[in-house]
Amino acid sequence: MRQKMITLDPTSWEIASKMKNFSGWVRQKLREQNESDGKVKAIQWESVCNQCDMFYLSTSEYAAKYNYCQKCHEHCHYIGPSELVR
């Protein structure tokens, strides 16, 4: 996963602090917004090199599970399916 910082006003912060999984809720709302924009959803698989902090997307689950970092050539950590827009 990648991080993105957001700014909340005091009321929004109170609401977010009471949520069990605020980040998950934000991801879901972004996906819903994206779908309502009429864009096509494509499933890809994600892996990451923890040593280099490099993320990789593959159209094949097999390729993501057995991916090696292009920078350090170490085996990447398989994250799983990632929904993206094409």
* Cβ pair 51, 69 in contact under 8 A: yes
Q: Give the residue-averaged pLDDT of 7-19.
A: 92
Strand (E) or helix (H) holding 47: strand 41-49
In tens, the pLDDT along 32-53 reads 887 776 655 568 889 999 998 8
pTM of the predicted protein model: 0.48
In tens, the pLDDT along 61-84 reads 999 999 999 999 999 999 999 865
Within 8 A by CB and 6+ apart from 44, the residues are 57, 58, 59, 64, 81, 82, 83, 84
